[in-house]
């Protein structure tokens, strides 16, 4: 069963999908359709229901937006993807708040130094925005590049974390 929950944030409403106490989907509600399609593929037989998120998860989301930047570290996740996607997502999780990385650096960290475009695709397929911090990936020249939640949100998140970008 997948429980669907909505939660307010300073950047708009978030939609969360949970299997037990693990997040399997997280995105802003106005961009959740992409995550929802991926959930349907990854959890074919899972029934959907309205639910409640564990209080700790909601407190940690609120704490992040209140400035406790490490609050999202270690939130339990139920990620499903290809081995390459998981390698990229694991590399993203090692980028601390306040720092950025490039797609080329992520490709090297994932063990495929020439797969920069594939890293971009894996980043775009990230089902748990914020917790797997895909907003921390920027262009090699320091410029902001695509973000499933929109570049305004990416800019806000990076500024909130104190990261440098162009």
pLDDT band at 106 (very low <50, low <70, confident <90, very high): very high
Q: Is residue 77 part of a domain?
A: no
Percentage of the chain beyond pLDDT 70 is 100
CATH of the domain at 154: 1.10.10.10
**For residue 164, what pLDDT band results from cuts at 50, 70 and 90?**
confident
Residue ranges making up the domain that contains 20: 2-65
Q: How far apart are CA 160 and CA 97, in angstroms?
A: 9
Using the predicted structure, report yes or no on whether residue 16 has a pLDDT greater than 90.
yes
Using one digit for the tens of pLDDT, what is the confidence trace for 51-95?
887 889 999 999 999 999 999 998 999 998 999 999 999 999 999
Domain membership of residue 6 (yes or no) is: yes
Domain assignment present for residue 142? The answer is yes
Kindly state whether residues 89 and 129 are assigned to the same domain: yes
Could you tell me if residue 118 is inside a domain?
yes
Give the pLDDT confidence score for residue 30 in this predicted structure.
94
Indicate whether 75 belongs to any domain.
no
Instruction: Provide the pLDDT confidence category of residue 166 given band limits of 50, 70 and 90.
Output: confident
8 Å CB contact between 11 and 153: yes
At 99 the pLDDT is: 95
pLDDT digit string, tens, across residues 40-58: 999 988 898 998 878 899 9
- Please answer whether residues 29 and 9 qualify as being in contact, where contact means their C-beta atoms are separated by less than 8 angstroms: no
Q: Considering the domain boundaries, does residue 33 fall inside one? A: yes
Does the structure show a pLDDT above 90 at 147? Answer: no
pLDDT of residue 122: 95
- Catalytic sites, residue numbers: 134
CB 137 within 8 A of CB 145: yes
- Number of domains composing the chain: 2
Radius of gyration for the alpha carbons in the chain, expressed in angstroms and rounded = 15
The answer on 52 and 16 residing in a single domain is yes
The yes-or-no verdict on residue 21 having pLDDT over 90 is no
Per-residue b or e along 75-99, where b marks 16 or more CB atoms closer than 10 Å to that residue's CB: bebbbebeebbebbbebbbebebee
Inform me whether the pLDDT recorded for 152 exceeds 90: yes
The chain-wide mean pLDDT, for the chain, equals 93
100 C-beta neighbours (distance < 10 Å), count: 19
In this structure, are 12 and 58 located in the same domain? yes
Q: Compute CA distances 84 → 26, 27, 28, 29, 70, whole Å.
A: 20, 21, 25, 27, 25
């Amino acid at each position: 069963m997948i429980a669907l929950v909505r939660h307010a944030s300073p950047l708009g409403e978030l939609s969360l999908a949970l299997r037990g106490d693990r997040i399997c989907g997280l995105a802003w509600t106005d961009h959740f359709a992409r995550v929802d399609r991926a959930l349907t593929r990854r959890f074919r037989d899972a029934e959907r229901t309205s639910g409640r998120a564990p209080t700790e998860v909601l407190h940690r989301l609120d704490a992040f937006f209140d400035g406790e930047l490490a609050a999202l570290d270690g939130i339990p996740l139920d990620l499903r993807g290809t081995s390459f996607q998981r390698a990229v997502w694991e590399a993203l999780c090692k980028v601390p708040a306040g720092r950025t990385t490039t797609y080329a650096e992520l490709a090297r960290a994932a063990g495929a130094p020439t797969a920069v475009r594939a890293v971009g695709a894996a980043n775009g397929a990230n089902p748990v925005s914020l917790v797997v911090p895909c907003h921390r990936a920027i262009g090699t020249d320091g410029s902001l590049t695509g973000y499933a939640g929109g570049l305004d949100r990416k800019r806000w998140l990076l500024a909130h974390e104190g990261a440098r970008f162009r």
